[in-house]
Amino acid sequence: LRLLLLGLGFLCLGLAVLGSLLPLVPGWPFLLLAAALFARSSVRFHRWLMTHPIFGPAVYGYQLYRAVALRPKLFALVFLWVSVAVSAVFIAPNLWVRLGLVAMAGGVSFHLLRMRTLKPHEAAELSLFFGAERSRRLAERRSRRGGPG
């Protein structure tokens, strides 16, 4: 069971990465699911995901505060609507497909806007934690190499 959960965790992580690169493919739910699967299958990979410089702050902030930082939320909304506009104008073959794209984007926007936004002190706390974690990792690498370089 542990190996199955671990494999599903990596699959979800891969889908989350794809979702962050492709418009209208949700990456966020897969990232949260990967964290949950790693928590139940591997302490090592759960810790890696939670302290990852790109994925960690988002997952950790959501698990700790049930909130998302303002900047990623705004980036997601802008990227979503630009992608929908480009798709509707240049790719969608007819009016119904355009309306479907707008409806999907509207639903995703509604969901994102309903999510709680991190308060400034919560965002600062996460920045401090991940800044300290990054410094700790750098020091660890330097000590393994045997010097300050």
> What are 15-32's pLDDT values in tens digits?
988 887 776 667 878 888
Would the pTM of this model clear 0.85, i.e. be above it? no
Residue 23, pLDDT score: 64
Retrieve residue 141's tokens. 């690498």
State how far the Cα of 2 lies from the Cα of 22, in Å rounded to an integer.
Answer: 30
Categorise residue 66: left if φ over 0, alpha if ψ from -120 to 50, beta otherwise.
left
